[in-house]
Chain A
Amino acid sequence: MTIAELMRQPSAWLAVGAGEGPVVSSRIRLARNVKDAAFPGWAGAEECERLWNRIEPAVRRVASLQPAESLAMGALDELERQILFERHLISREQAEKTKGSGLILRRDESLSAMVNEEDHLRLQGMRPGLSLRAIWEEVDRLDTEIEQRIEYAFSPKLGYLTACPTNVGTGMRASVMLHLPGLVLMNEINPVIKGMGKIGLAVRGLWGEGTEATGNMFQISNQMTLGDTEEQIVAVIEQIVQEIVEHERNARERLLERRETVVRDHVGRAYGILSHAHILTSKEALDLLSGLRLGIDLGILSTVSRRVVDELMLLTQPGHLQKLESKALKPKERDRYRARLVRERLTGSDRRRGEQIKE
């Protein structure tokens, strides 16, 4: 499978039919390491390549990953790695690696394994909606299949041993992506974020660590990996997410009751700018697409489908955009191509009628 083929299907974290409302998708990753081998960050290039040659055939054949695809980072160009990152299939860290590192994924992207990222293995499950329990079952099964073939570094006291002690124990990071425009517009998001910190959960932006909450998207995940069981970690996050979703629904209701005109204005302006702008940065595009998403959820925008909005959230990202236009673009050029793409998709206009972008 090529990256171009991958781009033709919806991403597992933004899959169409995710249902209405604030929950976008859920994700679980497990960090695992091979017994008696140096961790990738310390192993050196040659050792990493040896490890990739040993891990890749073992993981590619496990039943859970069928039909499986294997992508060696060294065989991909920078743009293709960026696309995998935008699809949440690899981390930013792995996107900068080349030889000795790779990704093995099930074709539908819902189950995958990063090889030689920070740890030898990062198993990952992704699904739309709030579905951590189902993902845990699936990732657990994948993990059990792999451990028949590869002996893991494990300590009875500390659990699965990871390169970074923040991940030791279960090695599990469970996260849920939430779209919370109601809480943001009602100025109630900060207490929610603070509350998460107090109970040991992390709040991050769309693309994980170090990214800002663009497009009113927030990723909530556990920080602690040692002490609780996987089921406990999942249960806590599911419960907290349900509470946040309740807050968000509540905020949206109050918005409509007390500030209906303001909300309609917010959604209408988002649509107006997106369908007429000629220069759009990716942050502006995401923030405005968030407005459309809210409008669709609230039933005040019916001319655009949710599928188109979800697709655009991904296609307006730098990697996807450049691949779509089949050429490398400088940031300023990207803003113009991005605006044209959004106009075309929203208004259904044909490119042949659209104006040419001057290089």
Chain B
Amino acid sequence: MLCESCKENEATVHLTQVIDGAIKKLHLCEACAAKSGIDIQGPLSITDILLGMGIQKPADLPDAERTCPRCHMRRTDFKKTGRFGCAACYEAFAEELPPLLKAMHRSDHHTGKVPSRESLRVRASAELESLQQKMDKAIAAENFEEAARLRDAIVACRRRMNEPEARATP
């Protein structure tokens, strides 16, 4: 089979992509594949596609040099590899995340397993957040009786959150 791009060399790179449910096949020779930015060594991952990897973009934009305070990864480094440098990058590049997460995942909130040392704190703070939202809604709807009930629940929840620490310190 000849390369679909140059129609001269034998096609050795066969790319199958599913785009909007349609299967698209591309047959290229190595040179043309490299030219169009396809990394034939490493497999093409969804991140690479989402981040438009391989296509060289001008990196000298003014805000390109945002850097992670902990591991010193630059925004341009992340754009290049699609991988973060450390856990703190999730904070440092927080504004990059929402569109990425939206394209990749079902929601932007973890609902699965929680490490045991985190679980107590996490569960309480999730409950707190949901109570707070409900109370705001109740106030907006001028349902003050419900709002007062929720306020009491929030106070109780805050107390519970502090309890284990209170117990730990004699």
Contact = CB atoms under 8 A, between A and B. Distances in A.
Given A165-B47, A190-B23, A228 B111 contact: yes
Given A42-B85, A197-B18, A210 B47 contact: no
Interface stretch (A143-151, A239-247, A269-277): A143-151
Interface in B141-163: none
Contacts of A229: 111-113
B117 A151 contact: yes
Contact of B105 (A118, A155, A224): A224
Given A42-B71, A166-B45, A194-B22, A156 B85 contact: no
A158 to B, nearest CB: 6
A170 B46 CA distance: 17
Contacts of A212: 14, 16
Interface string A200-234: 10010000111110000000000111111110000
A36 B70 CA distance: 9
Contacts of B14: 212
Nearest to B43: A210
A23 interface: no
B18 A227 contact: no
A157 B14 CA distance: 39
B87 interface: yes
A89 to B, nearest CB: 18
Contact of A194 (B18, B83, B90): B18
A92 interface: yes
B86 interface: yes
Given A193-B18, A226-B104, A164 B82 contact: yes
B87 A35 contact: yes
A148 to B, nearest CB: 8
A227 B109 contact: yes
A140 B115 CA distance: 11
Contact of B106 (A33, A118, A143, A227): A227
A230 B116 contact: no
Given A38-B85, A226-B109, A166 B73 contact: no
A184 interface: no
B61 interface: no
A93 B81 CA distance: 14
B69 to A, nearest CB: 13
A158 B114 CA distance: 11
Interface string B15-27: 0101001110000
A85 interface: no
B116 A144 contact: yes
**Max chain B CB contacts within 10 Å: which of A118, A164, A211?**
A164
Contact of B87 (A161, A172, A228): A161
A228 B114 contact: no
Contacts of A353: none
Contacts of B118: 154, 156
Contacts of B109: 157, 226-227
A50 interface: no
A156 B87 contact: no
Contact of B104 (A151, A165, A203, A209): A165
B125 interface: yes
Contacts of A227: 105-111
B26 to A, nearest CB: 13
A169 B110 contact: yes
B121 interface: yes
Interface in A118-163: 118, 140, 143-144, 147, 151-161, 163
A168 B22 CA distance: 27
B126 A224 contact: no
A36 B118 CA distance: 15
Contacts of A226: 101, 104-110
Interface in B26-57: 42-47
B105 A164 contact: no
B1 to A, nearest CB: 14
Interface in A39-75: 39, 41-42
A37 B42 contact: no
Contact of A33 (B42, B87, B112, B121): B87
Given A36-B86, A159-B114, A169-B112, 16 more contacts: A35-B87, A39-B83, A41-B85, A42-B84, A147-B117, A156-B110, A159-B110, A159-B113, A166-B104, A168-B90, A170-B112, A211-B43, A223-B46, A227-B108, A227-B111, A229-B113
9 contacts: A93-B42, A118-B83, A165-B100, A197-B21, A223-B46, A224-B104, A224-B105, A227-B107, A227-B111
Interface of A: 33, 35-39, 41-42, 92-93, 118, 140, 143-144, 147, 151-161, 163-166, 168-170, 172, 190, 193-194, 197-198, 200, 203, 208-212, 223-230
5 shortest A-B CB distances, which residue pairs? Answer: A210-B43, A159-B110, A227-B106, A227-B107, A153-B87
